[in-house]
Amino acid sequence: MNRASNLKLDSYLQTQEALSQNVSIYESNVSIKVQVDEFTFDLQGLLKLKEEADQSIKWLIDEKNTIKKALELKLYSFSNALVCYANSVCDSEILEKAYVSKKHLKWLSELDLIDYYKQSIDIAKEHVTSLEPYGISKAIVADVEKDCKAFEQKRFKLLALKEEKANAKNEYKMLQKKINQLLNGKLDHSIENLRSLHPDFVKYYFATRQKSKEIQHHFDVLGYLKDKATGEPIALGKVWVEGLDLSTHITAKGSFRFKDFPEGEYQLIVENINYKSLFVPIRRYKSEQSKMYLEMEAIPLEAEASV
């Protein structure tokens, strides 16, 4: 959850503490007691949703990426063997389907990677009796297929967990709205009505209702991009976090920012059509602000052929 939600939750917990410490003041008032019980029940639900929304998925991302990297190595060797076979029998269709460079294989989207290895495995199964001289046997096909299925299963589990977190976050927002309506519309007025008899308690209660005065940062991660050769800002492009559904755009002035960035160790991928992609490791604590000054190397234009 973001800072605003955490601060609001902290305020709720302090409010609950104030109410629980002073039950004797309002327990005989049926209306107030019902409102307090509803608030307490909803707050417990909010804490459970926060736990679901904040559960770490980094371990699962790491496991999936480890399987993916090992799979890419196997697939490249697998692909190369298919290409050698296709060249030997002059089969342009297999050659077109099987050929892939290491770089292209690495940059395939996960869905494209799945399509690619399914297609390659189908080709290998169809021609397996002819592929032995090129290093592909039934056992190797089965081994690659096993790794492919393991990757798909890990990917499916990760997507399911991301959806679970997203659903919990949405439910959290709705329940938080309900709690706000209960406090602002009912309980605050009921407690205010006790001021003449219990001024200290009422003062304490409303003090807890104020949002914590924490410094609000405008960013968690801020980056500036420059051309390595000229020192000029690099305008436009995209920055995303490998393994996470988290990205931002590069501004026209050559900067990017993430307002909310998770704690831990990740890798940023910086992309601009005119520059070589940049891979930047980042390690940070949740409360830490990070500033980055990065340089990118331009991709040289091919010399135009003279007419």
Per-residue pLDDT of the chain (307 residues; tens, 9 = 90+): 676 788 889 899 999 999 999 999 999 999 999 999 999 999 999 999 999 998 888 899 999 999 999 999 899 999 999 999 999 999 899 999 888 888 888 888 889 999 999 999 999 999 999 999 999 999 999 999 999 999 999 999 999 999 999 999 999 999 999 999 999 999 999 999 999 999 999 999 999 987 644 444 456 899 999 999 999 999 999 999 987 878 999 999 999 999 888 888 899 999 999 999 999 999 887 667 888 999 999 988 753 333 3
Dig out the tokens for 138 from the structure.
């039934």
Indicate the residue type of 153: Q
Residue 155 lies in a domain: yes
If asked whether residues 153 and 249 sit together in one domain, one would say: no
Q: Can you give the pTM of this predicted structure?
A: 0.61
If asked whether residues 23 and 106 sit together in one domain, one would say: yes
If asked whether residues 161 and 237 sit together in one domain, one would say: no
Contact 75, 144 (CB under 8 A): yes
Residue 33 lies in a domain: yes
Number of domains comprising the chain: 2
Residue 199 lies in a domain: yes
Residue 307 lies in a domain: no
Residue 168 lies in a domain: yes
CA dist 77 and 96 (Å) reads 16
- Residue where a domain terminates, one of 198, 215, 232: 215
If asked whether residues 284 and 210 sit together in one domain, one would say: no
Q: Radius of gyration over alpha carbons of the chain, in Å? A: 29
Model pLDDT, residue 300? 84
- Residue where a domain terminates, one of 215, 239, 261: 215
If asked whether residues 254 and 280 sit together in one domain, one would say: yes
If asked whether residues 121 and 243 sit together in one domain, one would say: no
If asked whether residues 86 and 152 sit together in one domain, one would say: yes
Residue 302 lies in a domain: no
Question: In terms of residue numbers, what domain contains 279?
Answer: 221-296
